[in-house]
Amino acid sequence: MTTECDCHMRMHECENQGGRKIYRTIINGDLNKKNTMLSRWCRIFYRARSRYQRRRLLLWLLMVGMLVCLMHYNQQGLQVLSQLSSDQGLNDYQAGPIHEQDDMNQQVGGRQPQALRQDVVKEVHRAINSDNMDKDEDDKSDLRSDLAPATLHFLWCGRRHFEFRHYMAMKRADKLIRPDKIFFHYEALPVLDEEGYFLWFNRTLAEVDNVLLRPFNYTKCPAEGAERFIAVLDLLEKFGGIYVPEDAILVDFPVHLRSSHLVPGVKPINETHFLDGLIAGRKGAFTKPTNAQELLVVLMNKEGVNSGIKPCGSIHHYNVEEEGDCICVKVTSNIYPKDILDATTRFATLARVAAYGKTQIEPEQSVRNPIPRIAHYVCIECEVRFITFLSMRSAVNVAGLSKVYLHGVREPRGKWWEKLKQDSRFVYVHREYPETVYDRAILTHQLAVAIMRISILLKYGGVYCDPNVLWTRQIPEELFGYTAVASPDWHLYGSWPDSVNHAVLMAKKNCPYLLKLRGVLHKYRQNQFWFNDHFMAYKIVETHPEIIRLDRKLQVKCLNHNCHPTWQPNYQSGLTQNRPGGPFNWRNDTYSIHWTDTFPELDLDMVKYTSGMIVEVSRHILQTSGIVVQELR
User: Residue 216: is its pLDDT beyond 70?
Assistant: yes
**DSSP per position, 416-443:** HHHHHTTSTTEEEEE-PPP--SS-TTT-
387 & 484 share domain: yes
- Tell which residue, 241, 222, 190, 358, has the closest CA to residue 292: 222
1 & 80 share domain: no
Residue 206 maps to which CATH number?
3.90.550
**DSSP per position, 384-415:** --HHHHHHHHHHHHTS--SEEEEEESS--BSH
Domain span at residue 195 reads: 132-356
Question: Is 390 contained in some domain?
Answer: yes
Q: For 80-91, write each residue's pLDDT tens digit.
A: 444 444 344 333
User: Residue 183: is its pLDDT beyond 80?
Assistant: yes
- What is the enclosing helix (H) or strand (E) of 263? strand 262-264
* End-of-domain residue from the set 321, 356, 391: 356
Cis (ω within 30 of 0) for the bond into 311? no
For residue 308, the one-letter residue type is: G
- CA of residue 296 relative to chain centroid, distance: 41
174 & 319 share domain: yes
351 & 433 share domain: no
What are the backbone dihedrals phi and psi of residue 275, each rounded to the nearest 5 degrees, phi first? -90, 120
Q: For 338-364, write each residue's pLDDT tens digit.
A: 999 999 999 999 999 999 999 999 999
pLDDT of residue 617: 97
Burial letters 32-47, b for 16+ CB under 10 A, else e: eeeeeeebeeeeeeee
456 & 533 share domain: yes
pLDDT of residue 30: 45
What are the backbone dihedrals phi and psi of residue 591, each rounded to the nearest 5 degrees, phi first? -100, -20
255 & 335 share domain: yes
Query: What is the model's pTM?
Result: 0.76
Confidence of residue 313 (pLDDT cuts 50, 70, 90): very high
- Tell which residue, 125, 233, 138, has the closest CA to residue 178: 138
Average pLDDT over residues 205-223: 93
Burial of 168 (0-12, 13-18, 19+ CB in 10 A): buried
Confidence of residue 36 (pLDDT cuts 50, 70, 90): low
350 & 427 share domain: no
Position with higher pLDDT, 131 vs 386: 386
389 & 464 share domain: yes
Burial letters 521-551, b for 16+ CB under 10 A, else e: beeebebebebbbbbbbbbbbbbebbbbbbb
185 & 78 share domain: no
Confidence of residue 138 (pLDDT cuts 50, 70, 90): low
pLDDT of residue 69: 79
427 & 297 share domain: no
Tally the domains of the chain.
4
